[in-house]
Amino acid sequence: MKAMVLQGSSQVTSGQRPLIEATLPDPEPKASEILVRVSACGVCHTELDEIEGRTPPPHFPVVLGHQVVGRVEACGPEARRFQTGDRVGIGWIFSACGHCQFCRAGNENLCPEFRATGRDANGGYAELITIRDDFAYAIPEVFTDAEAAPLLCAGAIGYRSLRLTGMKDGQVLGLTGFGASAHLVLKMVRHRFPSAGVFVFARSERERAFALELGASWAGDTADIPPEQLDSAIDTTPVWKPVIETLAHLVPGGRLVVNAIRKENTDQDELTRLDYSAHLWMEKEIKSVANVARADISEFLELAAEIPIKPEFEEFPLAEANAALQELKARKIRGAKVLRIA
Protein backbone atom coordinates (compact mmCIF):
# COMPACT_ATOMS: atom_id res chain seq x y z
CA MET A 1 0.00 0.00 0.00
CA LYS A 2 0.99 3.61 -0.52
CA ALA A 3 1.54 5.63 2.66
CA MET A 4 3.07 8.88 3.87
CA VAL A 5 5.57 7.76 6.49
CA LEU A 6 7.26 9.56 9.41
CA GLN A 7 10.78 8.26 10.01
CA GLY A 8 11.88 10.41 12.92
CA SER A 9 11.25 13.68 14.74
CA SER A 10 11.76 16.89 12.78
CA GLN A 11 10.43 20.42 12.52
CA VAL A 12 7.52 21.27 10.25
CA THR A 13 9.01 24.28 8.47
CA SER A 14 8.42 25.44 4.93
CA GLY A 15 10.50 23.55 2.41
CA GLN A 16 10.93 20.57 4.77
CA ARG A 17 9.20 17.29 4.02
CA PRO A 18 8.93 15.42 7.33
CA LEU A 19 6.75 12.72 5.73
CA ILE A 20 8.01 10.64 2.83
CA GLU A 21 6.00 8.69 0.28
CA ALA A 22 6.57 4.96 0.73
CA THR A 23 5.16 1.60 -0.28
CA LEU A 24 4.54 -0.63 2.75
CA PRO A 25 3.30 -4.24 2.91
CA ASP A 26 -0.52 -4.43 3.07
CA PRO A 27 -1.62 -4.99 6.71
CA GLU A 28 -3.68 -8.13 7.44
CA PRO A 29 -6.61 -8.26 9.88
CA LYS A 30 -5.99 -10.63 12.80
CA ALA A 31 -8.51 -11.98 15.37
CA SER A 32 -11.24 -9.32 15.79
CA GLU A 33 -9.57 -6.74 13.55
CA ILE A 34 -10.98 -5.30 10.34
CA LEU A 35 -9.00 -4.18 7.31
CA VAL A 36 -10.20 -0.78 6.09
CA ARG A 37 -9.53 0.79 2.67
CA VAL A 38 -9.08 4.47 3.55
CA SER A 39 -10.76 7.13 1.43
CA ALA A 40 -10.30 10.25 3.59
CA CYS A 41 -8.13 11.17 6.58
CA GLY A 42 -8.25 14.44 8.49
CA VAL A 43 -5.08 16.37 9.31
CA CYS A 44 -4.84 17.30 12.99
CA HIS A 45 -2.68 19.66 15.05
CA THR A 46 -1.65 16.60 17.08
CA GLU A 47 0.30 15.40 14.04
CA LEU A 48 2.53 18.50 14.42
CA ASP A 49 3.07 17.51 18.08
CA GLU A 50 4.03 14.00 17.00
CA ILE A 51 6.41 15.13 14.24
CA GLU A 52 8.06 17.82 16.37
CA GLY A 53 8.49 15.48 19.34
CA ARG A 54 5.99 16.84 21.91
CA THR A 55 4.09 13.53 21.84
CA PRO A 56 6.53 11.36 19.91
CA PRO A 57 5.57 7.97 18.47
CA PRO A 58 7.28 5.13 20.39
CA HIS A 59 8.51 3.52 17.15
CA PHE A 60 9.54 4.69 13.69
CA PRO A 61 8.66 4.50 10.90
CA VAL A 62 5.02 5.21 11.62
CA VAL A 63 1.99 6.24 9.56
CA LEU A 64 0.22 9.24 11.14
CA GLY A 65 -3.49 10.07 10.93
CA HIS A 66 -6.39 9.46 13.30
CA GLN A 67 -9.49 10.83 11.56
CA VAL A 68 -9.97 7.98 9.17
CA VAL A 69 -12.94 7.10 6.97
CA GLY A 70 -13.08 4.15 4.62
CA ARG A 71 -14.77 0.86 3.79
CA VAL A 72 -14.22 -2.54 5.34
CA GLU A 73 -12.23 -4.62 2.88
CA ALA A 74 -11.72 -7.78 4.98
CA CYS A 75 -12.58 -9.08 8.46
CA GLY A 76 -10.38 -11.10 10.83
CA PRO A 77 -11.69 -14.54 11.88
CA GLU A 78 -13.33 -13.18 15.08
CA ALA A 79 -14.53 -9.80 13.74
CA ARG A 80 -18.34 -9.72 13.80
CA ARG A 81 -19.44 -6.07 14.03
CA PHE A 82 -19.05 -5.07 10.40
CA GLN A 83 -19.29 -6.64 6.98
CA THR A 84 -17.16 -6.19 3.92
CA GLY A 85 -18.20 -2.96 2.18
CA ASP A 86 -19.48 -1.20 5.35
CA ARG A 87 -18.38 2.39 5.78
CA VAL A 88 -16.52 2.97 9.06
CA GLY A 89 -14.65 5.68 10.90
CA ILE A 90 -11.60 5.43 13.17
CA GLY A 91 -10.55 8.05 15.74
CA TRP A 92 -7.62 8.81 18.07
CA ILE A 93 -8.40 5.90 20.42
CA PHE A 94 -6.90 2.78 18.82
CA SER A 95 -7.22 0.45 21.82
CA ALA A 96 -7.34 0.25 25.63
CA CYS A 97 -7.04 -2.59 28.16
CA GLY A 98 -10.77 -3.03 28.76
CA HIS A 99 -10.51 -4.05 32.43
CA CYS A 100 -8.92 -1.22 34.47
CA GLN A 101 -11.06 1.13 36.62
CA PHE A 102 -11.05 3.78 33.86
CA CYS A 103 -12.07 1.37 31.09
CA ARG A 104 -14.84 -0.09 33.28
CA ALA A 105 -16.20 3.44 33.90
CA GLY A 106 -16.27 4.30 30.18
CA ASN A 107 -13.25 6.59 30.50
CA GLU A 108 -10.94 4.35 28.49
CA ASN A 109 -9.29 7.57 27.29
CA LEU A 110 -7.55 7.59 30.72
CA CYS A 111 -6.46 3.91 30.58
CA PRO A 112 -2.75 3.38 31.32
CA GLU A 113 -2.67 1.10 28.26
CA PHE A 114 -4.36 3.67 25.99
CA ARG A 115 -2.94 3.42 22.47
CA ALA A 116 -3.42 6.14 19.89
CA THR A 117 -4.12 5.64 16.19
CA GLY A 118 -1.35 7.10 14.05
CA ARG A 119 1.12 7.25 16.95
CA ASP A 120 1.23 3.93 18.81
CA ALA A 121 -0.17 2.06 15.77
CA ASN A 122 -0.19 2.94 12.07
CA GLY A 123 -2.88 5.45 11.11
CA GLY A 124 -4.75 6.74 8.10
CA TYR A 125 -2.19 8.61 5.97
CA ALA A 126 -2.24 5.40 3.90
CA GLU A 127 -4.40 3.32 1.59
CA LEU A 128 -5.12 0.64 4.22
CA ILE A 129 -5.38 0.34 8.03
CA THR A 130 -6.31 -2.42 10.49
CA ILE A 131 -8.07 -1.93 13.85
CA ARG A 132 -10.13 -3.98 16.31
CA ASP A 133 -13.75 -3.88 15.17
CA ASP A 134 -14.99 -2.53 18.55
CA PHE A 135 -12.82 0.58 18.04
CA ALA A 136 -14.44 1.48 14.70
CA TYR A 137 -17.74 3.37 14.22
CA ALA A 138 -20.52 3.33 11.66
CA ILE A 139 -20.71 6.68 9.86
CA PRO A 140 -24.21 8.24 9.54
CA GLU A 141 -25.49 8.39 5.95
CA VAL A 142 -25.80 12.19 5.88
CA PHE A 143 -22.03 12.69 5.72
CA THR A 144 -19.66 12.29 2.80
CA ASP A 145 -16.36 10.62 3.66
CA ALA A 146 -14.49 13.96 3.67
CA GLU A 147 -17.15 15.60 5.85
CA ALA A 148 -17.05 12.75 8.37
CA ALA A 149 -13.24 12.66 8.76
CA PRO A 150 -12.75 15.87 10.80
CA LEU A 151 -15.71 14.94 13.02
CA LEU A 152 -13.80 11.91 14.30
CA CYS A 153 -11.21 13.94 16.22
CA ALA A 154 -11.86 17.65 16.29
CA GLY A 155 -15.59 17.07 16.67
CA ALA A 156 -15.45 14.23 19.19
CA ILE A 157 -12.86 15.95 21.39
CA GLY A 158 -14.81 19.18 21.07
CA TYR A 159 -17.87 17.25 22.28
CA ARG A 160 -15.93 15.89 25.27
CA SER A 161 -14.54 19.38 26.05
CA LEU A 162 -18.02 20.87 25.98
CA ARG A 163 -19.28 18.09 28.27
CA LEU A 164 -16.43 18.79 30.70
CA THR A 165 -17.28 22.52 30.92
CA GLY A 166 -20.61 21.53 32.49
CA MET A 167 -22.20 24.56 30.79
CA LYS A 168 -25.96 25.20 30.82
CA ASP A 169 -28.22 27.09 28.45
CA GLY A 170 -28.20 30.84 29.02
CA GLN A 171 -24.59 30.89 30.18
CA VAL A 172 -21.61 32.44 28.45
CA LEU A 173 -18.94 30.18 26.94
CA GLY A 174 -15.56 31.48 25.80
CA LEU A 175 -13.61 29.81 23.00
CA THR A 176 -9.93 30.69 22.71
CA GLY A 177 -8.58 29.72 19.30
CA PHE A 178 -10.92 29.01 16.44
CA GLY A 179 -9.66 26.01 14.49
CA ALA A 180 -11.35 22.77 13.50
CA SER A 181 -12.50 21.76 17.00
CA ALA A 182 -13.73 25.17 18.15
CA HIS A 183 -15.82 25.80 15.06
CA LEU A 184 -17.61 22.49 15.64
CA VAL A 185 -18.13 23.33 19.34
CA LEU A 186 -19.75 26.60 18.28
CA LYS A 187 -22.20 24.69 16.07
CA MET A 188 -22.99 22.24 18.93
CA VAL A 189 -23.62 25.07 21.38
CA ARG A 190 -25.89 26.89 18.92
CA HIS A 191 -28.02 23.70 18.66
CA ARG A 192 -27.99 22.45 22.24
CA PHE A 193 -27.89 25.77 24.15
CA PRO A 194 -29.74 28.27 21.92
CA SER A 195 -29.76 31.05 24.55
CA ALA A 196 -26.07 30.76 25.41
CA GLY A 197 -23.56 33.49 24.54
CA VAL A 198 -20.43 32.36 22.74
CA PHE A 199 -17.41 34.69 22.81
CA VAL A 200 -14.53 33.78 20.50
CA PHE A 201 -10.96 34.95 21.11
CA ALA A 202 -8.71 34.53 18.06
CA ARG A 203 -5.58 36.27 16.83
CA SER A 204 -6.48 36.29 13.17
CA GLU A 205 -9.06 38.64 11.70
CA ARG A 206 -10.10 35.85 9.32
CA GLU A 207 -10.88 33.45 12.19
CA ARG A 208 -12.87 36.14 14.02
CA ALA A 209 -14.92 36.89 10.90
CA PHE A 210 -15.54 33.15 10.43
CA ALA A 211 -16.69 32.83 14.06
CA LEU A 212 -19.21 35.66 13.66
CA GLU A 213 -20.42 34.10 10.40
CA LEU A 214 -21.13 30.86 12.31
CA GLY A 215 -23.12 32.59 15.05
CA ALA A 216 -20.64 33.70 17.74
CA SER A 217 -22.12 36.52 19.86
CA TRP A 218 -18.80 38.38 19.99
CA ALA A 219 -15.29 37.89 18.59
CA GLY A 220 -12.13 39.63 19.69
CA ASP A 221 -8.35 39.36 19.86
CA THR A 222 -6.76 37.14 22.53
CA ALA A 223 -6.05 40.11 24.79
CA ASP A 224 -9.41 41.91 24.29
CA ILE A 225 -11.81 42.26 27.20
CA PRO A 226 -15.11 40.46 26.52
CA PRO A 227 -18.45 42.29 27.04
CA GLU A 228 -19.37 39.86 29.88
CA GLN A 229 -17.49 37.45 32.14
CA LEU A 230 -17.31 33.80 31.06
CA ASP A 231 -19.11 30.99 32.93
CA SER A 232 -16.75 28.54 31.27
CA ALA A 233 -14.24 28.44 28.46
CA ILE A 234 -12.48 26.01 26.16
CA ASP A 235 -8.92 26.72 25.08
CA THR A 236 -7.77 25.03 21.86
CA THR A 237 -4.61 27.06 21.25
CA PRO A 238 -1.11 25.52 21.40
CA VAL A 239 0.26 28.35 23.60
CA TRP A 240 0.00 29.75 27.18
CA LYS A 241 -1.04 33.37 26.82
CA PRO A 242 -4.73 32.55 26.19
CA VAL A 243 -4.82 30.39 29.34
CA ILE A 244 -3.76 33.32 31.50
CA GLU A 245 -6.05 35.79 29.71
CA THR A 246 -9.06 33.48 29.93
CA LEU A 247 -8.68 32.68 33.65
CA ALA A 248 -8.87 36.42 34.32
CA HIS A 249 -12.26 36.60 32.53
CA LEU A 250 -13.95 33.66 34.34
CA VAL A 251 -16.83 34.23 36.77
CA PRO A 252 -16.33 32.97 40.36
CA GLY A 253 -16.49 29.15 40.20
CA GLY A 254 -15.93 29.27 36.43
CA ARG A 255 -14.03 26.52 34.68
CA LEU A 256 -11.44 26.60 31.91
CA VAL A 257 -11.08 23.38 29.92
CA VAL A 258 -7.79 23.09 28.04
CA ASN A 259 -8.17 21.00 24.92
CA ALA A 260 -4.59 20.59 23.71
CA ILE A 261 -2.54 17.42 23.76
CA ARG A 262 0.63 19.42 24.49
CA LYS A 263 1.42 23.11 24.87
CA GLU A 264 4.34 24.59 22.93
CA ASN A 265 7.03 26.21 25.10
CA THR A 266 7.45 29.30 22.89
CA ASP A 267 5.61 31.58 25.34
CA GLN A 268 6.08 29.67 28.59
CA ASP A 269 7.24 32.92 30.27
CA GLU A 270 3.57 34.03 30.12
CA LEU A 271 3.03 31.66 33.07
CA THR A 272 5.06 33.96 35.32
CA ARG A 273 2.14 36.41 34.96
CA LEU A 274 -0.15 33.96 36.79
CA ASP A 275 -1.54 35.94 39.67
CA TYR A 276 -3.40 33.95 42.31
CA SER A 277 -6.03 36.59 43.09
CA ALA A 278 -6.72 37.55 39.46
CA HIS A 279 -6.57 34.12 37.86
CA LEU A 280 -7.43 31.41 40.41
CA TRP A 281 -9.03 32.91 43.53
CA MET A 282 -12.83 32.49 43.89
CA GLU A 283 -12.79 28.79 43.09
CA LYS A 284 -11.85 29.08 39.46
CA GLU A 285 -10.99 25.72 37.94
CA ILE A 286 -8.68 24.55 35.19
CA LYS A 287 -9.03 21.11 33.66
CA SER A 288 -7.49 19.34 30.67
CA VAL A 289 -9.14 17.05 28.13
CA ALA A 290 -7.17 13.86 27.55
CA ASN A 291 -7.73 11.84 24.41
CA VAL A 292 -11.23 10.65 23.65
CA ALA A 293 -13.43 7.73 24.72
CA ARG A 294 -15.45 5.67 22.26
CA ALA A 295 -18.74 7.06 23.61
CA ASP A 296 -17.59 10.60 22.79
CA ILE A 297 -17.07 9.61 19.17
CA SER A 298 -20.28 7.62 18.69
CA GLU A 299 -22.48 10.12 20.61
CA PHE A 300 -20.96 13.03 18.76
CA LEU A 301 -21.50 11.39 15.35
CA GLU A 302 -25.20 11.00 16.20
CA LEU A 303 -25.48 14.59 17.42
CA ALA A 304 -23.65 15.86 14.34
CA ALA A 305 -26.03 13.97 12.05
CA GLU A 306 -29.06 15.33 13.94
CA ILE A 307 -28.03 19.03 13.84
CA PRO A 308 -26.55 18.45 11.17
CA ILE A 309 -22.98 19.61 11.57
CA LYS A 310 -21.15 19.64 8.27
CA PRO A 311 -17.59 20.75 8.87
CA GLU A 312 -15.94 23.28 6.60
CA PHE A 313 -12.93 21.58 5.04
CA GLU A 314 -10.37 21.73 2.29
CA GLU A 315 -8.94 18.68 0.57
CA PHE A 316 -5.37 17.71 -0.28
CA PRO A 317 -4.14 14.62 -2.15
CA LEU A 318 -2.34 12.10 0.14
CA ALA A 319 1.01 12.97 -1.46
CA GLU A 320 0.49 16.63 -0.40
CA ALA A 321 0.26 15.77 3.31
CA ASN A 322 3.41 17.83 4.04
CA ALA A 323 1.81 20.93 2.49
CA ALA A 324 -1.33 20.44 4.58
CA LEU A 325 0.77 20.14 7.77
CA GLN A 326 2.81 23.25 6.90
CA GLU A 327 -0.36 25.29 6.35
CA LEU A 328 -1.72 24.03 9.67
CA LYS A 329 1.48 25.09 11.41
CA ALA A 330 1.33 28.51 9.72
CA ARG A 331 -2.29 28.71 10.97
CA LYS A 332 -3.70 29.04 7.46
CA ILE A 333 -6.92 27.58 8.75
CA ARG A 334 -10.49 27.80 7.60
CA GLY A 335 -12.12 24.70 9.02
CA ALA A 336 -10.41 21.34 8.70
CA LYS A 337 -7.86 19.88 6.29
CA VAL A 338 -8.61 16.45 4.83
CA LEU A 339 -6.39 14.13 2.79
CA ARG A 340 -8.16 12.48 -0.13
CA ILE A 341 -6.82 8.96 -0.48
CA ALA A 342 -8.87 7.04 -3.03
Q: Which residues bind Zn ion (CB under 5 A)?
A: 44, 46, 96-97, 100, 103, 111, 153
As measured in angstroms, the least distance from the Cβ of 52 to Zn ion is: 15
Nearer Cβ to Zn ion, position 97 or 209?
Answer: 97
Nearer Cβ to Zn ion, position 29 or 65?
Answer: 65
As measured in angstroms, the least distance from the Cβ of 149 to Zn ion is: 10
Give the E-state strand segments of the chain in sequence order.
2-6, 19-23, 33-43, 62-63, 68-75, 87-90, 93-95, 115-116, 128-132, 137-138, 172-176, 197-201, 218-220, 230-235, 250-258, 285-288, 313-317, 336-340
As measured in angstroms, the least distance from the Cβ of 252 to Zn ion is: 33
Query: Residue 54 and residue 111: Cα distance in Å, rounded?
Result: 20
Nearer Cβ to Zn ion, position 68 or 72?
Answer: 68
Give the E-state strand segments of 76-163 in sequence order.
87-90, 93-95, 115-116, 128-132, 137-138
Query: How many residues are present in the chain?
Result: 342
Nearer Cβ to Zn ion, position 109 or 130?
Answer: 109
As measured in angstroms, the least distance from the Cβ of 119 to Zn ion is: 10
As measured in angstroms, the least distance from the Cβ of 111 to Zn ion is: 3
Query: Residue 98 and residue 101: Cα distance in Å, rounded?
Result: 9
Nearer Cβ to Zn ion, position 44 or 88?
Answer: 44
3-state secondary structure of 317: strand
